[in-house]
Structure 1
Amino acid sequence: MSGERTGTLPLASEQHIVAARQTVRTLCQTLKLSLVDQTKMVTAASELSRNTLIHGGGGRMRWELVEAGMRQGLRLHFEDEGPGIADIAMAMTDGYTSKSGMGLGLPGSKRLVNDFMIDSAPGQGTCVSITKWK
């Protein structure tokens, strides 16, 4: 990972979720994010990786080190070709849970990061992008 600005990891098993968490922690450390911000980003990545695996049937996490002016950040994209989300507004409601949901859910993940975008439609899969800025 030394010097790389982008990368992709598969999300097809529990071991892949662990690897994604470790990669995100390392990238956060590379950016010298505070321990609190590292923990927030790793927690959000863990939740979204699990969603990709459980609800999307697996997919991938793409990461990129990004810059905007003087700011540096880490952007993660969680992508799948699963069934998609029929009602994004409902899925973004606090307290909403799917039949197997026990995690933070999408709104909890959104609160942990600076930027959050979701793109999904029934039968089209889902892409959730999150960014944490230093």
Structure 2
Amino acid sequence: MNDDVQRLPVVTDQDVVRVRQLVRTVAVAVKLSLVDQTKLVTAASELARNTLVYGGGGEAEVSRVHNDRRAGIRIVFADQGPGIADLDLALTDGYTTGGGLGLGLSGARRLVDEFEIETEPGKGTTITVVKWCR
């Protein structure tokens, strides 16, 4: 179940900053620990930058989510860019094409509790992450 979805464009560097700020605000509101807030904001920053740089821009959708036991945050990053030609390579530790925080997709994946990626060459990429309260 989710509520209060907030969508932000990701088309400029300033939009990446706005995504980080919104994620931090929602993380505080759902009472993530400071460590988990930092992990989620870091992952969101990396994924927003990837959306901008590699996807040619797109959108971030931030929402609170709840299951039977706990609250969390879901963030969906979507672009209509070229897609990821070699997803296995892109998810390899240490793989980078430069310019980001150096985390890459594998680093962002380690910072969240759930990580799902859908990509198709020529059709864009959608990455969904969830971080749950402990």
TM-score (norm 1): 0.94
Which residue in 1 is equivalent to 2:84? Answer: 85
Q: Which residue of 1 aligns with 2:129?
A: 130
The CA distance in 2 between the partners of 1:64 and 1:131, in whole Å, is 10
Q: In structure 2, how many angstroms separate the alpha carbons of the residues matched to 1:76 and 1:111? A: 15
Question: Sequence identity, in percent?
Answer: 52
Confirm whether residue 120 of structure 1 aligns to residue 119 of structure 2. Answer: yes
The answer as to whether partners of 2:70 and 2:132 remain within 8 angstroms in 1 is: yes
1-side partners of 2:100 and 2:75: how far apart? 22
The separation in 1 between residues aligned to 2:74 and 2:99, in whole angstroms, is: 27
- Residue 42 of structure 1 aligns to which amino acid in structure 2? V
Shift of 1:62: 0.6
Quote the offset at 1:102 in angstroms. Answer: 5.0
TM-score, normalised to structure 2, is: 0.94
Unpaired stretches in structure 1, ≥5 consecutive residues: none
Q: Which moved more, 1:93-102 or 1:112-121?
A: 93-102
Give the whole-Å Cα distance in 2 for the aligned partners of 1:5 and 1:112: 23
Q: Give the counterpart letter for 2:67 in structure 1.
A: A
User: How much is the aligned-residue C-alpha RMSD, in angstroms?
Assistant: 1.1
1:99 is displaced (CA, Å) by: 5.0
Aligned length: 131
Structure 2 portions without partners, runs of 5+: none
Bigger Cα displacement from structure 2, 96-105 vs 111-120 = 96-105
Residue number in structure 1 paired with 2:25? 26
**Contact 2:63–2:74 at 8 Å: present in 1 too?**
yes
Q: What secondary structure sits across from 1:129 in the alignment?
A: strand
CA contact (8 A) 2:49 2:100 kept: no
Note the C-alpha offset of 1:100: 4.2
Residue aligning to 1:66: 65
The offset of 1:103, in angstroms, is 2.1
Deviations 1:26-69 (A, max 9, x none): 00000011000000000000000000000000001011111111
Query: Given that residues 50 and 100 in structure 2 are in contact (C-alpha distance below 8 angstroms), is that contact kept between their aligned partners in structure 1?
Result: no
